[in-house]
Amino acid sequence: MDFALTEEQEFFRKMISDTVDRLVFPKAAEIDEKDEFPWELWREFSKLGYLGLRYPEEIGGMNADPVTAMIFYEEIARGSVGFAQSVIMNILMGTYFIYRFGSEEMKKRCLYPAMRGEKIGTMCFTEDQSGSDLAATRTTAVKEGNEWVINGTKMWITNGPIADMATVLATTDPSLGNKGLNFFLVEKGAPGFSAGQILDKLGCRGTITGELVLDNVRVPEENLLGAEVNKGVEYLGDILDEVRTMTGAMALGIARAAMAEGLEYARKRVAFGKTIGTYQLIRAKFADMATEMEASRLMVYYAAWRIKEKLPCRKEAGMAKMFATETCLKVVDEVTRIWGANAFAHEYAPQRHFRDARFLLYGGGTHEILRDFLGRMVIGKS
Ligand SMILES: Cc1cc2nc3c(=O)[nH]c(=O)nc-3n(C[C@H](O)[C@H](O)[C@H](O)COP(=O)(O)OP(=O)(O)OC[C@H]3O[C@@H](n4cnc5c(N)ncnc54)[C@H](O)[C@@H]3O)c2cc1C
């Protein structure tokens, strides 16, 4: 067994960690407070090449392996979750299908500019009446000649209102459930494609999240992002493990940021003549948080290693996402207790971590869905 990162991965950790400390971390409170997309930071960050993290060097990417990618996701979430969400959407879900199935023309128009930060991508599954249950998707795609005509409304779309292009989930026939689903590339400016309501969110503020409306949007037939029609769910399965493990890595990043705040406070806050970190009940909190974060780290990086080695990973990725997220929720909660009333003030970071961490519950599958799935895996088919 080898638990060590390679020299390159260690170097990458140091590089991205320094970048986050220098560029992102100092802006985190402002991003949260203003709840506006941080364009200046986006442009500055884009120049460093990270937006091509997962893609080959031949097309201008960094060719990072999945373990290295998790290091990136963890570190950027430690800096600012609002910013991290937008960046990760562009790097992973918002461009994956274009890279995998798009024509060279589409890549030139959408993928390569997204890797340079000149365009912003997103991915749209969720609708007003369907989230976990993709089979209930009501956005339709009907073939007319050599075009697809798409109709529907997507909700909760990260980067949606500012996106230059969207990978949109639509059904060729709602009665087919999961077997009728497909992904389509829809670009800004297409007649009938517009942004609707922008959501005022509890956390992850600074990422612009909202509604996208598709009203008789016509796209050429090659905008079907898939080798075959009605295989969308199958293709989605190919990045599901990475998306879930990525959410676990983000959880680890948020937990680290909160833990750092908790430690600083426990070392300096005095009560009854002693710093609170000297009291056993407070120490026990740190012991539990540190232990569970260590377990989360092992689970997240083990899942990433399995993805890298192309080993089955559905169970490990689901468990890593769920455990790291539950740990993060516990850490942000404990830190607000350690900070006492000061945790309740907008002036300090603990309340932001407390709010931001909640979003981890939804992306990559809710924990009810994951528990149900993992339970079936453990018990076996009945
Ligand atoms: C900040 C943020 C950003 C997001 N960004 C995007 C995005 O970019 N693109 C996108 O498509 N979506 C996005 N989403 C939406 C997210 O993917 C959905 O919230 C998620 O899929 C869950 O769907 P839902 O919220 O509709 O909940 P529902 O599926 O309606 O579930 C409601 C509740 O019922 C439970 N439940 C449902 N089915 C079962 C079952 N079978 N057994 C037990 N319990 C069940 C769920 O666990 C949950 O507790 C985002 C959400 C947030 C909060």
Q: Which conformational region is residue 272 in: left (phi greater than 0), alpha (psi within -120 to 50 degrees), or beta?
A: left
Query: What is the CA(219)–ligand 1 centre distance, in A?
Result: 28
Query: What is the CA(201)–ligand 1 centre distance, in A?
Result: 15
Determine whether the shortest distance from the Cβ of 124 to ligand 1 is under 6 A.
yes
Q: Which conformational region is residue 205 in: left (phi greater than 0), alpha (psi within -120 to 50 degrees), or beta?
A: beta
Determine whether the shortest distance from the Cβ of 209 to ligand 1 is under 6 A.
yes
Q: What is the pLDDT of residue 177?
A: 97
Residue nearest to atom 14 of ligand 1 (CA): 156
Determine whether the shortest distance from the Cβ of 368 to ligand 1 is under 6 A.
yes
Alpha-carbon gap, residue 140 to 146, rounded angstroms:
16
Buried b (16+ CB within 10 A) or exposed e, 82-120: bbbbbbbbbbbbbbbbbbebbeeebbebbbbbbbebebb
Residue nearest to atom 23 of ligand 1 (CA): 131
> Is the pTM here over 0.85, yes or no?
yes
Determine whether the shortest distance from the Cβ of 183 to ligand 1 is under 6 A.
no
Determine whether the shortest distance from the Cβ of 159 to ligand 1 is under 6 A.
no
Q: Could you give the angle at which helices 232-268 and 280-308 cross, rounded to 10 degrees? A: 150
Q: Which of 32, 156, 211 to mutate to test the pocket of ligand 1 (most atoms within 8 A of CB)?
A: 156
For 7, 130, 214, the CA distances from 306, given in Å and listed in that order, are: 19, 31, 38
Beta bridge mates, 121? 165
Q: 269, 214 in Cβ contact below 8 A? A: no
Query: What is the CA(322)–ligand 1 centre distance, in A?
Result: 14
Alpha-carbon gap, residue 54 to 111, rounded angstroms:
12
Determine whether the shortest distance from the Cβ of 153 to ligand 1 is under 6 A.
no
Query: What is the CA(155)–ligand 1 centre distance, in A?
Result: 11
Which residue from 27, 23, 38 is spatially nearest to 120, judged by alpha carbons? Answer: 38
Alpha-carbon gap, residue 148 to 150, rounded angstroms:
6
Query: Beta 147-158 vs 140-144: how paired, if at all?
Result: antiparallel
Atom number in ligand 1 closest to CA 130? 26
Query: What is the CA(87)–ligand 1 centre distance, in A?
Result: 21
Q: What is the pLDDT of residue 237?
A: 96
DSSP 135: G
Mean pLDDT by 10 residues, the chain (382 residues): 95 98 98 98 98 97 98 98 98 98 98 98 97 97 98 98 98 98 98 97 98 98 97 96 98 98 98 98 98 98 98 98 98 98 98 98 95 95 64
Determine whether the shortest distance from the Cβ of 343 to ligand 1 is under 6 A.
no
Atom number in ligand 1 closest to CA 207? 1
Residue nearest to atom 7 of ligand 1 (CA): 157
The SS3 assignment for 37 reads coil
Q: What is the pLDDT of residue 382?
A: 57
Determine whether the shortest distance from the Cβ of 158 to ligand 1 is under 6 A.
yes
Query: What is the CA(62)–ligand 1 centre distance, in A?
Result: 32
